[in-house]
Every structure is written in C-alpha cells, then in structure tokens.
Structure 1
Amino acid sequence: MKKGVVNEANMQERDTRRQAFPVPKYYQVKESISSQITNGTWTPGMLIPSETELESTFSVSRITVRRAISELTHEGKLFTIQGKGTFVAKPKLPERFVHHAFGIYEDLRRQGVELATTVMRQEPQPASKEVASMLGLLPGEEVQVLVRVRSVEDERLLVSTTYIPKVLCPDLDTVDLASTSLYHVLRTRYNLEIARGVRSLEAVAAGQWEARLLEIALGSPLLLLDSIAYLADGRAFEYSRTFHRGDRARVEVEFTPDQDEW
C-alpha cells in the first residue's frame, strides 16, 4: 500500500473518532475563553463578559458556562470577586526548583521579575525540636530566624521562614535583607556555599497566619516548599518553609535522563 493512502486512511479514522467522541460544549467554551487570554485580547485584570453574555455568545446553557469558568478559575487563568464578576488573572510566575541552587530572589531576577521583600522578623531564638532536627542541632541551640514576605508589583506572592544556626552567622540579625539576596549575604559575608540541597513540595490550605500575611482568603490553595541546604562537609546550614500562593505560582521541573537506563 502506498504511503499516501495509509496517511489518508489514518486521517479518515481520526475524523471518525472525533465524530464518535464529540468535544463537550463546556470544553469548547473553555478553550475559546482561554485563547482570548493567551492571544492578549483579554488582558490581566480585565472583567470578562457576564454569564448571560457568554450564554448568548456561545449558545449554551448557564451550567455549561459555569463549568468552563470554574475550570479556568481552578487553573489560575480567571478569578471571581463576589458581586463584581469574573476577571482575567495575572500569569503565574514559574519557578525552577530542580538542578538550580538559586534562591527565589535570584531565580526570579534571572527571569526579569523584580521581587520586593518585606522583612517581618529577623532575630535569634532557641531552635524547636523540629528545626533542630532539620539542621542537625540540639533543641534549644540558637538559630537566626528570618520571616519575609515577597511581592511583585505590590501583590504579595509568598511568605518564607528561614532558620540558620547562629554560630554560622552570629550577626545576621543586623544585616539589611530587604534589598538583597540572603544567599548572596551568606556567601560573601559568611563564606557559606551551597553544596547540595533537598526540597519537597506539597499542596496545603492557607491558615490564619498565611492568609493574613499574603492578604488572601482563609483556606486558599498554597504550595508549601520545604528546603534544606548543605555545606560541602555535609552540615545543614539553612532550613526554610515557604508558602507560595497557588493561584500565582507554577512549578517547572527540569530533568535529565539516566544514561544507564536510556
């Protein structure tokens, strides 16, 4: 059989499958709205047409429109304000968590995003059992505690709490960390270089503390990133917990193939 005939047969088979499994109406509405956002017709912060207008535009039911909007809201492309309507969300900020020993400050600056920092707390305190376990310390040993809220264009995106053994940076609490990278300070002032790190990521709901600092609703989706950084001699020198707004963050994971299995 000629190659062209095979291709034509395959195309006919695909068309038959499409007819057998038609695309749901809500999905068609969703894709149309999504394309308006992607091509820039609907820009971030713009109020989209009302449900009634969308019903008329697409000749579908209210249930169909609501399902399309619900899925786009879940994906972070739209957000709804009670009594005002549904708006186009800002694009999520990608962060590369694998194979890069960069802090959030460095990571976003490399992407051309200016990150503003508000230091909420910066002082030494005795390590709790959990923190001591993460850093290989005895409970009660002093650690430097740093709580920071990070924002882009006055929008709060994440809040992080960092713990570092005080013996490694005894006067860190006196350093201005509102306008510079913590990793830069640790490297240049205290000669602390990251040799490796371990990071874990999970989905959580915003508690009262996170909701207040990030100015979001209680129970809003968050991405919790736990990180431990190690020196070349194997000692843990930094433990941090960072809550990222789930509607404003997207995780990018870089990977390389295992040459033995490839």
Structure 2
Amino acid sequence: MNTSIGPIYQVIVKDLSEQITSGALKPGDRLESEPRLAQQYGVSRMTLRQALGELETAGLVARRHGAGTFVSRPVPIQRRGNQLGAFHEEMGLEPDEIETELMLQEVIMPPDDVSQDLQLSPGQTTSHLVRLRKLHGTPVAWQESWIPYLLAPALARGGLTDGSLYKTLRERGGVEIRSAEQTVSAALASPEVASVLKIDQENPVMSIRRVSRTAAGEPVEVAQSYTSSDLPLIVRLER
C-alpha cells in the first residue's frame, strides 16, 4: 500500500469520520465488528484499534465492552441563563467557534419602552447595534442592542472588539456590566428573523429581552435577541 497518504490508521479515522459527519453512519449506529473492519481495510486489529481509539477520543464513537463500537450521540449546545458574559461564554464555547456579523451600527432615538428601561431623558439618543451570531457557520441568534449614546460614543463607529459588545464597552468606554434581568419567552419568527436565521417563517424561536446594569445598578443596555430553538436555555437552580 502507498503510505504517502499518511499513517494507515489515519486513513481509517478519516474515512469513518466522513461517514459519521455526512450522516451515512448515524448516532446510535453500531459499527461492524473489529475483525470485519480490519478485514475490510486490510489492516491488523492493532491498527484498527488505534483508529477507533482516536475516534473515541474525538467523541465520535463510544466503545462498549461486549457490545461493540457505536456512533456517539452529539452533545447538544446549550445557552446558560445563569451566566452573564460574552455570547461564547454563555454557550460554553471557545471564542473562535462563534462568528459575529455586525449587521447594523447607527445612532437613533430608541423605542419608548427602551428609553424607559434605560432611564433616558427626553431627546437622548442611543447607539443601536444589530448582530447575527453564527455557530460553526450556521446562524443561531439575531441580537439587537440599544446603549445610551453618551455612555460610549465610540460604539457608533468602528467594529466590536473580538465581536463582543461587553468587551468593547469595557475597553472603549470604561463600562463594566455586572448584572442583568432578562425575560425569556417563546415567539414566532418574524419574516426578518426567519430570513437571517435561515428557518421557515413562523417557526418558533426563543425570545430573550435583557436589561444589563453596572455594579451601581445603572442601566447600560437593552437587548432583544431571537435564538434558534436548537439552542435550549439551561438555568441552574439551587436551594
């Protein structure tokens, strides 16, 4: 066999990985027995076990003693409602797993309910931002935020630091968000939300309205987000 394509066990890893990610092998499916797989690939049992071990380490398969090797069921991504921070932190993910697309950045007069929550005086404007969050390239959340313009004028120009509004507020405006109250409800996707999230119109989405505050309790941001129903919200309760 021509080994220029790499170690033999890696060829097996690549082939089985592609079958799993393509859906040819589905979660819960049992792989062929080790003797049959070894015969199929023309390798020793030791080489095959090396490949299966790597797949298991990657979380793609699970080996059960006496039963065989099975395709793992994916662990669902969950957004935690008791964690206040950057979007990737709430999701328990690495920063590079979330892509933030800044769709709109402007200075406007806010809606009346937003002005009331931000305790603005008549005529006060806000920085208005609309962002689309993507997980591994797939749109998962549409977010709209209003921040008092005078609090951080720099928000009206330039992008966001590492795609994070909270980090931008901290570094450019010296504003640290320390608490928030949010209301979570189910809603039907509007045509705009359905379009950006690439879901069918009128599909259910999770609506989250948040008012964020400084340590002194001063309101900093009103945010409205619509999140795909594929991302359940997990809230930890203790007694």
TM-score (norm 1): 0.61
Contact kept in structure 2, 1:127 and 1:139, CA below 8 Å: no
State the match for 2:218 in structure 1: 235
Q: How many residues align?
A: 175
State the match for 1:255 in structure 2: 237
Secondary structure of the structure 1 residue equivalent to 2:153 = coil
* In 1: Cα distance, 2:25 partner to 2:131 partner: 34
- Pick from 77, 90, 107 the counterpart of residue 90 of structure 2: 107
Cα shift at 1:45: 5.6
- The share of aligned pairs that are identical, in percent, is 23
Contact kept in structure 2, 1:127 and 1:140, CA below 8 Å: no
State the match for 1:220 in structure 2: 203
Q: Which string of whole-angstrom CA distances, capped at 9 and with x for unpartnered residues, describes residues 133-192 of structure 1?
A: 121113542000010001012211110001100010012121312743111111122111
* In 1: Cα distance, 2:219 partner to 2:105 partner: 20
State the match for 1:189 in structure 2: 172
Query: Structure 1 131/125 Cα, relative in aligned 2: closer, same or farther at 3 Å?
Result: same
Query: Structure 1 215/91 Cα, relative in aligned 2: closer, same or farther at 3 Å?
Result: farther
State the match for 1:66 in structure 2: none
> Structure 1 residue 177 and structure 2 residue 160: aligned?
yes
Q: What are the equivalent positions in structure 2 for 1:1-262 lying under 5 Å apart?
A: 43=20, 46=23, 92-98=76-82, 100-108=83-91, 110-112=92-94, 114-177=97-160, 179-246=162-229, 248-257=230-239
* In 2: Cα distance, 1:105 partner to 1:138 partner: 34
Give 5+ residue unaligned stretches, structure 1.
1-39, 50-88, 258-262
Cα shift at 1:210: 0.4
Give 5+ residue unaligned stretches, structure 2.
1-16, 27-72
Secondary structure of the structure 1 residue equivalent to 2:101 = strand
TM-score (norm 2): 0.66
Cα shift at 1:106: 3.0
Cα shift at 1:115: 0.3
Contact kept in structure 2, 1:158 and 1:243, CA below 8 Å: yes
Contact kept in structure 1, 2:100 and 2:133, CA below 8 Å: yes
Structure 1 runs (4+) greater than 2 angstroms displaced: 42-49, 89-92, 105-108, 110-113
